[in-house]
Amino acid sequence: MDIMSSDQPDSGSPLGSFADKLTIETPEQTALEFAVAGIGSRFLALALDTLIQMLVGFVALFGGIFVISLISAAMPKAGMWGAAILILFFFLLYFGYFALFEIIWNGQTPGKRKAGIRVIKDSGRPLTPAESIGRNLMRIVDWLPAFYAVGMVSAILTKENKRLGDLVAGSLVVRESSFSTLKPAWQTAEMPAAPGFSPVGADRLSPEECALIDSYLNRRLDLEPSVRFRMADEILGRLKSKLTLPAEGMLSSDRILEALAYERRASGRYS
């Protein structure tokens, strides 16, 4: 997968900053373009999230102290356990807050949503829960020595404004506006030619079946030839009833699956 970027004015940024246009070229000859979020919009998102955390923290702190003081009167040792629970709560509030929201809101926290930005993988795909947790645990280092100094330096020195957590998780933060206009830009590639070849019926396939074809085409070069062609035969066998296939032996199953992908993208039916 190739990744290219070019400096472009970020006219949609609330802070009027500059952002890179990042183009991701996938193995299927698909180019996806994202506007990389600038440091300004990321700082705004962090400030909003921190404000929310502080409000929740103050409520939890005073509420916890009140409850602990009541229980400690009857159970002296309860104060120690209550303090330990509060410490654990604040750890989860600070680090778990970001990971939890990024998992359930597909790469966004309340602050990121308000700032119009989102975290994704370098490949353009969503982060897995494990990647999101790992990315946010790195805030322990990014925050050092204070006020995200390490993270800020890392963001300034890297092309896509990545803090250490992004470098570890293989993630980047992009502007949400990228997704409203996102369309795979298919590169010039012709449908496999063969005597008498005609469209085979990609428009009759479901999104799940199209995704199955894409998954196979993604992986096929990494497979042993025998496994590759057996898998192609099995996939085509599942789809045959929906397709108008050329004469037997004219094209291999592998080439027919290619033809389906080309036909689908030529008609704009990509997912």
101 and 29, same domain (yes or no): yes
One domain, residues 151 and 170? yes
Contact 18, 9 (CB under 8 A): yes
At 165, list the tokens. Answer: 């957590």
Q: Is residue 256 part of a domain?
A: yes
Confidence of residue 113 (pLDDT cuts 50, 70, 90): very high
- What is the pLDDT at residue 100? 95
**What's the domain count of the chain?**
2
Q: Indicate the burial class of 12 (C-beta count within 10 angstroms; 0-12, 13-18, 19 or more).
A: middle
Q: Examine the domain organization and report whether 39 and 146 are in the same domain.
A: yes
- Nearest by Cα to 52 from 3, 101, 121: 101
170 and 194 share a domain?
Answer: no
Rounded to an integer, the average pLDDT of 140-152 is 89
Domain that holds residue 124: 2-48+97-180
How does pLDDT run across 61-94, given as a tens digit for each residue?
998 888 888 877 777 777 778 788 888 999 899 8
Residue 168 pLDDT > 90, yes or no?
A: yes
Q: What's residue 248's pLDDT?
A: 65
Q: When comparing pLDDT for 140 and 217, which is higher?
A: 140
Q: What are phi and psi of 4, to 5 degrees?
A: -125, 150
219, two tokens? 């992986």
Q: What's the angle, vertex CA 181, arms to CA 4 and CA 185, rounded to 5?
A: 50
229 shares a domain with 196:
yes
Instruction: Tell me phi and psi for residue 227, to 5 degrees.
Output: -70, -40
Q: Are residues 115 and 245 in the same domain?
A: no
Average pLDDT over residues 184-206: 56
Name beta bridge partners: 6: 21
Whether 143 and 20 share a structural domain: yes
249 and 204 in a single domain? The answer is yes
Q: Does 240 map to a domain?
A: yes
Distance in angstroms (rounded) separating the CA atoms of residues 233 and 254 = 8
| 28 or 122, higher pLDDT | 122
- Asked, for residue 185, whether it belongs to a domain, the answer is no
Nearest to 127 by CA among 103, 151, 144, 104: 103
245 and 195 in a common domain: yes
User: Per residue in 33-52, pLDDT tens?
Assistant: 778 888 889 999 999 999 99
User: Of 28-42, 81-95, 235-249, 252-266, which range is least confident?
Assistant: 28-42
pLDDT at 249: 61
Asked if residue 58 is part of any domain, the answer here is: no
